[in-house]
Amino acid sequence: MRVLMLLGRSTGGIGAHVGALVAGLRDEGHEVLVVTADSTADSFGWTGAARLWPVHRGARAPRGLVDWHRIMRLAGTVDVVHAHGHQAAVVAAAAVARALPRPRFVVSLHNDLPPSGPSTASRAAQGVLRWTVSRALRRADLVTGASEDLVTLASTLGARRTELAEVPSAGVAGLLDASPLAPAEREALLEGASVPAGLPVVLTVSRIAPQKDLPTLLEAARLSRQPATWVVVGSGDERLRARLEEAAGGIRPGDADATRAGVRFVGARDDVSEWLRAADVFVLTSRWEARALVVQEAMAAGLPVVATRAGGLPALVDGAGSLVPVGDPAATAAEVDRLLGDRAERARLGAAARVVAASWASPAAEARRWVERYSATLPG
């Protein structure tokens, strides 16, 4: 089977998922072409990807027009076009409509539509976006959602056939086989990032982006009564990070020694699994998530998770972690404090999380499931 995988700009979980899916399909003997933006190809090292992304160049610009036509021509050479995300769905729908012969068209939704602002112009723009995405989804042979609320959204927008397609993390298997870091390894990891090793670590792994609602995380750290260091691993919007770091100054959870505790932003790391094995509690304050890869990895590492009751997180965490309302720093702080003060409860939830993580399908198994989905859309 020949598949065209289409993805716009991504530096996080969606790109990681697409990379794992492409590798899995190729391992199964299928030919996969990847079309994406320059920044995405660079972020994930996709040297063989076609860097054709007309949306951010302007469809009427000369380069944008060339990209559109090249995507259309490529669509006519494959069996299936698989678009990831709203923008990719719109681009792919236009390409498939003009492709000869027509390939099957599959869309995977990984995020909710952005909310509209209070202004009339913002509401109008959101309405146009909703209509445009709806038009694309109605043309698809299959629309999948990474969480049940996205499946419902697809149906609401008029998709003819919908299905839940859970997105597995490639990091889960290794973390299930690993143990917490030994004390000396933990100390070296933390001190190498200027994080005090003598206190519990409350860990967040996240892009620095508005959706992640890191101001709520900072306020939760300020309200916390248990001495700890709250560590944020990840990069993103540098101006937002600067504002957050300024706001974090002076936060001392539990009124601990100012030289020892606080909030630390340690940037992007290539040793996230080690941070997960070194932490005591994992926290994610996002306004919305589908099936966050990093939460899957935290659970596989045996960490008790405190996450917002949003999107696909309840189905992922419930029974093996704690759920708090979106935008509620007091509830977040209280739950973190409860866990930091109860070693037995942390161990119980961590063990339960690992049991749940062990039940998930591997990326290789999910790639095989995707072959079945593609085949079901093909004629005959």
pTM over 0.75: yes
Nearest to 76 by CA among 103, 104, 53: 103
- Say which residue, 244 or 144, is predicted with more confidence: 144
Express as a percent the part of the chain with pLDDT over 90.
79
- Kindly provide the b/e burial profile for residues 167-203, where b requires at least 16 CB atoms within 10 angstroms of the residue's own CB: bbbbbbbebbeeebbeeeebbebbeeeebbbebbbbb
Q: What pLDDT shows up at residue 139?
A: 96
| Tokens at 56, concatenated | 């951010």
94 and 365 Cβ atoms separated by less than 8 Å: no
SS3 78: coil
- Kindly provide the b/e burial profile for residues 56-92, where b requires at least 16 CB atoms within 10 angstroms of the residue's own CB: ebeeeeeebeebbeebbebbbebbbbbbbbbbbbbbb
- Whether 57 has a pLDDT exceeding 80, the answer reads no
Q: What pLDDT shows up at residue 262?
A: 87
Mean of the per-residue pLDDT values of the chain: 91
- Say which residue, 10 or 260, is predicted with more confidence: 10
Q: What is the pLDDT of residues 80-121, one digit of tens each?
A: 999 999 999 999 999 999 998 999 999 999 998 877 667 666
Q: Which domains does the chain have, with CATH numbers?
A: 2-168+362-377 (3.40.50.2000), 172-358 (3.40.50.2000)
Q: What pLDDT shows up at residue 12?
A: 81
Count of residues in the chain:
380
Nearest to 204 by CA among 243, 173, 233, 238: 233
Q: What is the pLDDT of residues 244-262, one digit of tens each?
A: 988 888 776 765 554 456 8
Q: What pLDDT shows up at residue 228?
A: 95
261 and 221 Cβ atoms separated by less than 8 Å: no
112 and 153 Cβ atoms separated by less than 8 Å: yes
Residue 231 has a CB neighbour count (10 Å cut-off) of: 21
Q: At what angle do helices 343-358 and 329-340 cross, to 10 degrees?
A: 100
Q: At what angle do helices 214-223 and 329-340 cross, to 10 degrees?
A: 50
3 and 30 Cβ atoms separated by less than 8 Å: yes
Give the whole-angstrom CA distance, residue 183 versus residue 275. 13
Q: What pLDDT shows up at residue 60?
A: 56
Q: What pLDDT shows up at residue 54?
A: 74
Mean pLDDT lowest for which of 216-230, 244-258, 265-279? 244-258
Considering Cα of 119, then 120, then 125, then 126, what sign does the dihedral take? positive
Q: What pLDDT shows up at residue 127?
A: 86
Give the whole-angstrom CA distance, residue 129 versus residue 319. 36
- Whether 218 has a pLDDT exceeding 60, the answer reads yes
Report the helix count and the strand count for the chain, using DSSP H and E.
16, 13
Q: What is the pLDDT of residues 145-204, one digit of tens each?
A: 999 999 999 999 999 999 999 899 999 999 999 999 999 999 999 999 999 888 999 999
Residues with Cβ within 8 Å of residue 308, at least 6 apart in sequence? 213, 284, 285, 286, 287, 289, 323, 324, 325, 326
Give the whole-angstrom CA distance, residue 18 versus residue 34. 9
Q: How many CA atoms lie within 13 A of 358 on its CB side?
A: 10
Give the whole-angstrom CA distance, residue 341 versus residue 26. 48
288 and 111 Cβ atoms separated by less than 8 Å: yes
Residue 335 has a CB neighbour count (10 Å cut-off) of: 21
Q: What pLDDT shows up at residue 125?
A: 78
SS3 per-residue string spanning 347-358: HHHHHHHHHHHH
Nearest to 362 by CA among 285, 275, 296, 270: 296
Q: What is the pLDDT of residues 304-327, one digit of tens each?
A: 999 999 999 999 998 899 999 999
Pairing outcome for strands 80-84 and 262-267? unpaired
